Structure 1
Amino acid sequence: MIEMLKNMKYRYLILGVIFTLALSLILFTLLRLGRPYVTSFAGTLSLYFFPIGWMLYHFKKYHLSFLEWLQPIKFKIRETIAAALFPELLGMGILLLITLGITFILPAGGFNELPETTTNWGLDFVSTVVLAPICEELIFRGFIFNKMLTRFSPSKAVIISSVIFGAMHLSTGISPTLVGMVLCVIFMKYGSLLPCIAIHGLHNLVVVWFKYFSLLSSDTSTEIIPTYMPPLLIMSVIFVIIGLVWLVLFFQKNWHYATEFMQQYYGDKDLLSNYTEKL
């Protein structure tokens, strides 16, 4: 496993994603699919299917299987729900504080209307709640995070891989980075991606649920009336405090699994000093 991870280069993955995206965009455009379907299908092929296929090729080359990362394991339902909700709560609080700050600084009318969007909720549910958790956990926690552990310390690997994960989901706010950090620890705790997939899916389900009910309203105005700012400020601070306290306690309780994970899966090899390997 370690040899395979060290021989799998990020640059080939990135080049393959770019090539697949460009080719699929051209193909689906020539087929005259609607614009939402072109971007959705092209994104799925390039960001999910190509990386998974590329990883499968290397696994078969080294006579390995994804089952290495998908071992059946018992995990706590309460922990799953908390890990899915509290990072999102912290992210929402931070994002709301930033929004209130921008609204206070910018002149009135800066953010008045949300753009009207049309959503295929069936397709959105399947891609977001089912496909994304499986593919993204295999890619980010399975490959990217594990490969970074062959070069960086667990703390650096958690931060870097989670920032990359957050950057890939920048349009959804700050919470993906926080969720990514939690999922890295969950993976090291259980040695399996199954709890990560469950947490990821539940988190995405909550996000889709909020998105659905927010769009049911005919009022798309996002203007923040001055009289609403104090209660919104209080609510955002409460979100941040609750989410931050949970996150700190979560890391304090579970970080020791990082050492145990490194000892179990990476043995006695001094991988953490191997900083000279090129990406």
Structure 2
Amino acid sequence: MFEQMKIRYFVLFGFIASIVTIIVSSLIYGSEFLENDTLFTNILSYTILGVFPFIWFVLQFKKQNKSIFDVIHFKNISHMLPIVIFLTATLIVFSLGAFWLSSYLLSFVFPSYVEFLLQDDSLFAGTGISFVLTAIYVSFLGPIAEEYIFRGLLLKRLGAKINIVASIIITNILFGILHADIIGAFMFGFILSLIYLKTNNLLLPIIFHILNNSIATLLAIFDPPTPDFLNYVTITQIYETAIPNLIMFVITIPILYVFIKRNFHVIS
């Protein structure tokens, strides 16, 4: 189903939808739309990872006499849920370590960029309805849309055009680039790709993604106490917290390696 869809059309119409959204929103809200970062981000996000993908995929599946629900099903997923939960926890730890590692390595080349990443806490900067919209987008809407786009359209279409190995690498490099934690996001996307290819059920990656993002959202909202080595906000502190962060990164690798090895046959 995804194999028959054209990536270039998705990108083209997505670009057009974004331009139209910016123009219409500017007419409605005036200069506030461009000056208010939270308003701009929410409206554009709900367009790019909300209204537009939903309409586009509905129409694409309709052309094939299918539904967007034909790629997700609830049958025989209960036995996979414990694995999903365990891998989610493992990947959260891996991502924390990977973010430290990438920040550490980049600090020698692009220190100003690393300082920007460490100080950027604007994700939930809004209040009231804006705050709620951001939380819903990050926790639910974004994960669903990203799974249809990355694990569905890109992975399957590129796999049909070239081969599945190249597809899984290219798709998840793109997925990583679009997230602050490139290494962690690549591994996250890679694991989700294996799960989708193994089960041919997009619901499991969607559940995985929602669970991961919801945990991140709750942590950002409630800001519970965390170990000191996770609270680095300067490059100097990155160096000072090297050992515990590196240990956290390394201990997850054998777990992920075993899972990848046991399921690598789906792309080989």
Residue by residue over 1:139-175, the C-alpha shift from the partner in whole angstroms, topping out at 9 and shown as x without a partner, is 2212221112212332222111111222232x35432
Q: 1:174 matched to which residue of 2?
A: 183
1:107 Cα deviation after fit: 8.7
Query: Any residues of structure 2 matched to 1:113-132 within 5 Å, and which?
Result: 114=119, 117=122, 118-120=125-127, 121-132=131-142
| Percent identity (aligned) | 23
Question: Which secondary structure state, in structure 2, belongs to the residue aligned with residue 119 of structure 1?
Answer: coil
Query: In the alignment, which of 55, 58, 74 is matched to residue 72 of structure 1?
Result: 74
CA distance in 2, matches of 1:132, 1:107: 30
Query: In the alignment, which of 30, 38, 41 is matched to residue 39 of structure 1?
Result: 41
Contact 2:42 2:133 in 1 (8 A): no
Structure 1 counterpart of 2:190, which letter?
M
Segments of 5+ residues of structure 2 without an aligned counterpart are: none
1:252 Cα deviation after fit: 0.8
Query: Any residues of structure 2 matched to 1:1-279 within 5 Å, and which?
Result: 1=1, 5-6=3-4, 8-32=5-29, 33=33, 34-73=36-75, 74=77, 75-101=79-105, 111=115, 114=119, 117=122, 118-120=125-127, 121-169=131-179, 171-214=180-223, 222-223=233-234, 225=236, 229-230=239-240, 232-258=241-267
Moved more, 88-97 or 208-217: 208-217
Q: 1:253 to 1:48 in 2, by over 3 A?
A: same
Residue by residue over 1:197-245, the C-alpha shift from the partner in whole angstroms, topping out at 9 and shown as x without a partner, is 111011111222332344999xx9823556x844x21122112212222
Question: Which secondary structure state, in structure 2, belongs to the residue aligned with residue 64 of structure 1?
Answer: coil
CA distance in 1, matches of 2:107, 2:177: 24
1:119 Cα deviation after fit: 3.0
State the Cα RMSD in Å. Answer: 3.1
Structure 1 stretches of at least 4 aligned residues deviating more than 6 Å after TM superposition: 104-108
Moved more, 192-201 or 114-123: 114-123
Contact 1:83 1:179 in 2 (8 A): no
TM-score where L is the length of structure 2 = 0.80
Contact 1:133 1:200 in 2 (8 A): yes
Contact 1:189 1:258 in 2 (8 A): no
Contact 1:21 1:43 in 2 (8 A): no
TM-score where L is the length of structure 1 = 0.77
1:115 Cα deviation after fit: 5.2
Number of matched residues?
A: 250
Contact 2:7 2:157 in 1 (8 A): no
